[in-house]
Amino acid sequence: MASMHGMTIVNIATSPDSASTGTGGIAAPDGQRTAGFSNVLACVDGSPHATEVLAWAIAIARQMHASLQALRVLDLPQESAAPQDPVAWDLRRRKAQSRLDDLLDEAGAGEIGEAGCEVVMGRLHERLQAVLANGTVDLCVIGSVGESAHADHPIGDTARRIVETAGCSVLIVPPGLAGDTGRLAPDVRRLLVPLDCSRRAETALSAAIAIADAFGSEVILAHAVPEPAITEIGPPEEAGVALRGKCAEHNRKAAERYMSRLHARMAMERRPIRTLILSGADPRHRLLTAAADEAPDMVVLAAKGVGGYADQAIGSVAEFLVTHLGKPTLIVRPETGRKPSSAAATTAASHSGNPIRGRA
């Protein structure tokens, strides 16, 4: 047991550091089978951050033998602006297409069996939502901020809308991951998976296991024990203090049993795995601190956990972590009748005006 930053951490189990077993036929908890991603869509813009977004999308597509589609949306002029020369628009599209081709080459897209790119005109979030509504994309990779984002905003409006409305899983990539070298070769050595003992939260495990096995990553399962709230008037009464302590102890023991069972099932596949039970302050801040201490390369969590309401697109914990982590964060949504398509490259064409395609 250790204490860091006012937070108690119990590391209850660690499995052998053995080699990954590959993605085929791996059984996740509760009989779920490990499901990787087959169609990856990378949404890029004209900012330097686009290189990082593409690098992460390509790394995942390569490791999971998935198809890749890179989409660049050029904003339409404002409604009040004068109509633009079609020739000028065509030149702008071609310039963007050439740049996108170069970025894909630099990031190693040639190593992917099926990859394509497309440049279309329109409003970014509208075009992207239309592509995702097609149902063939199972992972959308997007930067947390875009060209027009303010420096003090951790996540832009487009990324936030996609996280809230996309029917597929979304990987949010923050800027600055390339460091001083200016180049980025994504490698997922360690995954952090927040869980709250609910089946909703466990929907993230299948994707987390698939990524971990593809990259040979260590998996860290983390649970923040909720602190019970007791309604009191005036100074705390002895009975209230005792009841709070009893509830806290119950929550802690239940969490230990849950995490132990989960670890035992996952460790049967002999993948590197650790479990953490966190207690102390607010669960969201405990997970944030644990992410800083454990330094994972990616955080994987379900869009909603036990506290998510039916009318919520994303739960409060997921929203808080996406906004504050500053790490690649995968928001997982379970598959719901996704269309069987071998290529994400065909999805954007039906929603675009005059696209220019590349890398057929």
The domains of the chain are located at 1-34+187-307+315-325, 36-185+328-360
Same CATH fold assignment for domains 1-34+187-307+315-325 and 36-185+328-360: yes
The pTM score is 0.79
* Neighbouring C-beta atoms of residue 159, cutoff 10 Å: 25
Quote the CA–CA distance of 335 and 337 in Å, as a whole number.
Answer: 6
In the chain, % of residues over pLDDT 70: 73
Express each pLDDT in 287-304 by its tens digit.
999 999 999 999 999 987
Per residue in 212-265, pLDDT (tens digit) is 999 999 999 999 888 777 777 778 788 888 888 888 888 889 989 999 988 888
3-state helix, strand and coil shares in percent for the chain, rounded to the nearest 5: 40, 20, 40
Q: Return d(Cα 18, Cα 213) in angstroms, integer.
A: 11
Please give the DSSP secondary-structure letter assigned to residue 146: -
Q: Give the Cα separation of 100 and 282 in Å (integer).
A: 43
Kindly report the CATH number that applies to the domain delimited by 36-185+328-360: 3.40.50.620
The angle that helices 124-133 and 157-165 make with each other, rounded to 10 degrees, is 20
Closest CA to 314 of 324, 303, 305: 303
1-34+187-307+315-325: which CATH number, 3.40.640.10, 1.20.120.420, 3.40.50.620, 1.10.620.20? 3.40.50.620
Give the chain's residues under pLDDT 50: 1-10, 12-13, 16-34, 80, 82, 180-183, 337-357, 359-360
